[in-house]
Amino acid sequence: MSTKNNRILNPEGGRYPFKVSDEYFDNLTARIMAKVDEAEQAEDTYTNESPEKGAKLVSINDSNTRRNKRWLSIVSIAASLAIVATVALKFIPWAGNTAQPTDELVAEYTADDYNEALMTYTMADNMDVYCYLESGDDMGAEDAY
């Protein structure tokens, strides 16, 4: 199929349909070199830029600065820990009560007290307790067989 638009593409190639005046190319080298010089000057200015007169220079790599920073962090950590401990002792009820139960307290609470409390709770009298103990002995004998 050969149509009008298909014939636009010439097998032999074609002419690039743009033009630029010869004057442009005559001056091109000079213009480019001027731009190159300009760029280089700008780069030199940037790399050799000196600080303003009287400006105080602070080096972040200075050893004094590093030492001061270390001390500051140690002091701030210690202060934080002290604050946390104070708050804990003041507001948390069990935090300050670290006393162990004494011997007197342990002695007060004896086995008799426990049995008496248990009998009151189960509403059992002495007779019930004897019956319970006897049946326990019998069961123990049966288990032995």
Partner 1 sequence: MRKIDEQDILQRFQRPETKRAAFEEMVGAYSRQLYWQIHHLLQNHDDTDDVLQNTFIKAWRGIDGFKGDAALSTWLYRIAYNESITWLKQRRQMASIDDEDFVEQANFAADDYFDGDETEELLMQAVSTLPAKQRQVFCMKYFEDKKYEEISSLVGTSVGALKASYHIAVEKITNFLQLKE
Query: Which parts of this chain interact with partner 1 (CB under 8 A)?
Result: 3-6, 8-9, 13-20, 25, 28-29, 31-33, 35-36, 39-40, 43
Q: How far is the CB of 8 from partner 1 (least distance, A)?
A: 5
Nearest-angstrom CA–CA distance, 81 and 86:
9
Half-sphere exposure (Cβ direction) of 106: Cα atoms closer than 13 Å:
4
Nearer to partner 1 (CB atom), residue 32 or residue 118: 32
Q: How far is the CB of 9 from partner 1 (least distance, A)?
A: 6
Nearer to partner 1 (CB atom), residue 31 or residue 67: 31
Nearest-angstrom CA–CA distance, 136 and 131:
8
Nearer to partner 1 (CB atom), residue 33 or residue 72: 33
Nearest-angstrom CA–CA distance, 20 and 17:
10
